[in-house]
Structure 1
Amino acid sequence: MTNNLTVPEKALVEALIVGLKKRLDDNLKGVRTDMQQTLEDAGIERLSVKLPSGLKVGSITTSAPGKKPEITDEAAFTRFVEEFAPTEVMTIKVVRPSYAKKLLDEMEARGAAEIVDPEHHEIIEVDGAEMKEGRAASHSVTWEKEGLDILAAAWRAGELDHIDGLPQLTSGGAQ
């Protein structure tokens, strides 16, 4: 790609690309935050991405936040496991990581900081654990076949210039 360039020209190309990427990344953070809020406010789960001509180039799909169990009080959790399954507590009173994972997986599947006692089939609240937000709501962009190339070509051709907030590139000596 840059085989015919001098070392200073290669350095300039890299600096330019790194700089543009930083500007785009900074811009993207704000755009994604605004888009996420817009999608949530409007109750939109899936949205087509179309050029002004109506040609679909991709889609945006939301994902809901999920709850995950988290051990919030190690001592209480250890006491719980010691009473419930004493062989799973090591001498130094630390819950075996594999057993903690098993309990956390079960709590995640149940959607609550509780497990089912396999012997008595009772639901037991787990001390020292509670449900917390596991990840924030988000969204993703997926592309139609060649959608990214079509979108890039439309952008380069100036077909999207009327949209505020899009980065603008000019070529050659254009001002």
Structure 2
Amino acid sequence: MSDLTPREARTVFALLKMRQSQLNRALKHVTQFIEQEPGDKNAAKLGAARLGKVAMTEPEVKAIVADRDKFVAFVQETAPTEVEHVPTVRTAYEMKLLEQALANNAPVDKEGREIPGVEIGHGSSPSQRFYADDGAERLLEVLEETDLPQIDGIDLAGLLGAKRGEQA
């Protein structure tokens, strides 16, 4: 295929985004049935053929500013040159204090002083991931509709390009 014209590129982009939207809805629907805890990795198989592993990520632990006013007041008292005119803390200094809090596993700075308005919590929520085995994509070429579960409202065979049974 030669280079695309801008019009062709927009059309292909729109078609792929529509397919992506359908796939995202299907993924959201099936994810609720996986039943994994963070850190779990389980094999995914199609018949006897192994596709890869489905894993639940661990939540990311990070320090966050939970109460901006208390945090700014603390920095204004302990490092006034780090407070900007709108009373806000320079981003670099905020990151430094949050890194110290995370390293201490508590909302305290390197001097051991409590940093008001900061807490240790979880950043992003755990999410499902898939790690394909080598050659697993070739299985999509031989996938048949009968290999797949039936899901109300989702044409899984169509989304995956599975071979459909003979119509009588």
Q: Which of 42, 55, 61 is matched with 2:55 structurally?
A: 61
Aligned residues: 155
Runs of 4+ residues deviating >4 angstroms: 13-20, 170-175
Q: TM-score, structure 1 length as denominator?
A: 0.70
Aligned twin of 1:147: 136
Secondary structure at 2:147 match in 1: coil
- Shift of the 63–171 alpha-carbon distance from structure 1 to 2, 3 Å rule, reads closer
Match of 2:47 among 52, 58, 62: 52
- Cα displacement (A) at 1:95: 1.5
Cα pair 2:62 2:123 within 8 Å, conserved: yes
Q: CA deviation at 1:143?
A: 0.9
In the alignment, structure 2 segments of 5+ residues that lack a partner are 4-10
Give the number of the structure whose alpha-carbon radius of gyration is greater: 1
SS at match of 2:89: coil
Aligned counterpart, 1:105: 99
Percent identical among aligned pairs is 25
Q: Deviations over 1:138-173 (max 9, x none)?
A: 1200111121222x1242x44614x33371237699
Q: 2-side partners of 1:99 and 1:14: how far apart?
A: 41
Task: Give the C-alpha shift of residue 56 in structure 1.
Answer: 1.7
d(CA) in 1 for partners of 2:47 and 2:163?
Answer: 23
Task: Kindly report which structure 2 residues correspond to 1:155-170, keeping only aligned pairs within 5 A, or say none.
Answer: 155=143, 157-158=144-145, 160-161=147-148, 163-165=149-151, 167-169=156-158
Report the 3-state secondary structure (helix = DSSP H, G, I; strand = E; otherwise coil) of the residue aligned with 1:126.
coil
